[in-house]
Structure 1
Amino acid sequence: MTGPAGVRATAPAVLLPWALAALLVLTAISYPLTTGSARTMVSWAIVLIGAALSVGHAAVSRGAATGAVVLLVTAATSVVFEAVGLATGFPYGSYTYSDDLGPTLLGVPFLVPLAWLMMAWPSWLLARRLTRDVRTARRPARVAVAAAVFAAWDVVLDPQMVQAGYWTWAHPRPSLPGIDTVPLTNLAGWLLAGLVLMSLLDVLVDRTAARPPRAGDGAPLLALGWMTLGGALAHAGWLDLPGSAVWGVVLAVPVLVALAVQARRAPAR
């Protein structure tokens, strides 16, 4: 099912993702400036706004059916993976959530599927842009890149959430250099979960999305960039997490280089 060719979203609808992206950035800036219960409230706000941005942008740019797909598929996949992870330790490693994250479903706090929503859609959009010049096996390439971006984002965010006390790892080592609170098994688990989720999204978005998109992808990509590089800045300057700050920059640089190369090539087409 596709939307009519050439149909654009109305101006108020196009502005909605940008308004949510701006609100997300402003809220994220306030995170390192707060403590205690205020920081917990800010964390909730960031995730709620980020999830709304992802679903809202998917609906505005690709149509209501795609917005519903992003919401339902991401939420269902997250609950399955997180519930299995809590019960068995696979695929992330053994961990427990704190009570600060509120109500749960199958042991999974409601905040967790919302965090997946915040991360998944921008990751898929960035992968779509990074692989647009791939000539063969474009879908596998897009899924692989989206899963990698999805997992890389968590490399920056997970140490921050552990520091805040939202979850705890039973065996945090071996870990990435500079990050001693999150095990490597978590990264492997995110890559696996990302491959499954992005495979589902890629097929279902392809079947439901309006063509061409009714709005640009700048707002969720801005959110992704800020949550990674802005998060790295906050980790270095305010949160005393220099290891994840360095990893945030290291993981972002190849993406920025690839986007710059694409931008230089674009006029020659």
Structure 2
Amino acid sequence: MRKVPWVLLGALILVQICYPLTEDKTRAVLTVVTVLIGVLLSVTHALISRGARAVVALIGTAGVGGFLVEAVGVATGFPFGTYDYSGELGPKLLGVPLIIPLAWTWMAWPAWLAALRITTSTTKRIVVAAFGLACWDLFLDPQMVAEGYWTWQAPTPALPGLPGIPISNYLGWLGFAVLIMTVLSLKLQQKPKTDDAPMYALWIWTYASSVLAHTVFLDLPASAAWGGVLMGAAVAPLLIKLRKC
């Protein structure tokens, strides 16, 4: 069972490598497959390393909470701004593709575990994990908007070089990420484990591959720069900690 997360991580990496080499509907399919493998990876690791309590906490906060905040966002424009999802990402409920809350669940887990490894302060862990998760969206949103998977009705003011996405989106991500990490800090044991290595690898791979893909394959140099610097600030302390071991 301990090898399962590594196997799933390998499958995830393979699918993500294929993504920039494809086009149109194939990319949409690979996007969905990536999220499905990713959420299976995170949930499986949570179960193996910390038990059913961790799975319930993760799915309840990032999954159910992610769906609710997205549904509110689509209906009201709060907290991300006024936006709409296309039909490219599969079935929707209340205007939200069901794959979206799974994406929150997938990446919230490695963000939290990386923060556990970086600092022993609960407050700092919440800040580091939330900041890292929100900065991942500096890669995600520009890529998905470029593919036409969702659009904003009022995309200004935007970050320089990232048109079509209002700053409110990133602030909304940060606010909800703080809520996720606060709940996880209350529900889960606050200690890193040796079994967390696959999630560290996922976190580092997500960062490095995103910088590479946006720079070389997807023609999104601005998101490569923004994400490279800001998410890099969340990933670098983990690399330093792991190097010292």
Q: TM-score range by the shorter chain?
A: over 0.9
Which amino acid is the alignment partner of residue 194 of structure 1? A
**Do residues 232 (structure 1) and 211 (structure 2) align?**
yes
Distance 1:265 1:15, change over 3 A: closer
Query: Which residue, 14, 19, 32 being the options, matches 1:44?
Result: 32
> Is the contact between residue 132 and residue 234 of structure 2 (CA under 8 Å) also seen in structure 1?
no
Distance 1:41 1:212, change over 3 A: closer
Query: Which residue, 229, 243, 264 being the options, matches 2:222?
Result: 243
Which amino acid is the alignment partner of residue 55 of structure 2? G
Displacement of 1:73: 2.6
1:205 paired residue number: 188
Q: TM-score, normalised to structure 1's length?
A: 0.85
Within 2, Cα distance between the matches of 1:80 and 1:263? 35
Which amino acid is the alignment partner of residue 114 of structure 2? L
Displacement of 1:122: 0.7
* Partner SS for 1:145: helix
How large is the Cα RMSD of the aligned pairs? 1.8
> Is the contact between residue 85 and residue 149 of structure 2 (CA under 8 Å) also seen in structure 1?
yes
2:68 paired residue number: 80
Q: How many residues align?
A: 245
Q: TM-score, normalised to structure 2's length?
A: 0.93
Within 2, Cα distance between the matches of 1:60 and 1:94? 39
Query: Which residue, 57, 81, 89 being the options, matches 1:93?
Result: 81
Displacement of 1:264: 6.1
* Partner SS for 2:123: helix
Q: Which runs of no fewer than 5 residues in structure 1 stay unpaired?
A: 1-12, 133-137
* Partner SS for 2:195: coil
Which amino acid is the alignment partner of residue 196 of structure 2? D
Distance 1:261 1:224, change over 3 A: closer
Displacement of 1:176: 1.7
**Do residues 174 (structure 1) and 192 (structure 2) align?**
no
User: How many percent of aligned residue pairs carry the same amino acid?
Assistant: 43
Displacement of 1:179: 1.2
Displacement of 1:96: 0.3
Task: Tell me the alpha carbon deviations over residues 83-118 of structure 1, each in whole angstroms, 9 at most, x when there is no partner.
Answer: 111111111011000011221222211010111011
**Do residues 194 (structure 1) and 168 (structure 2) align?**
no
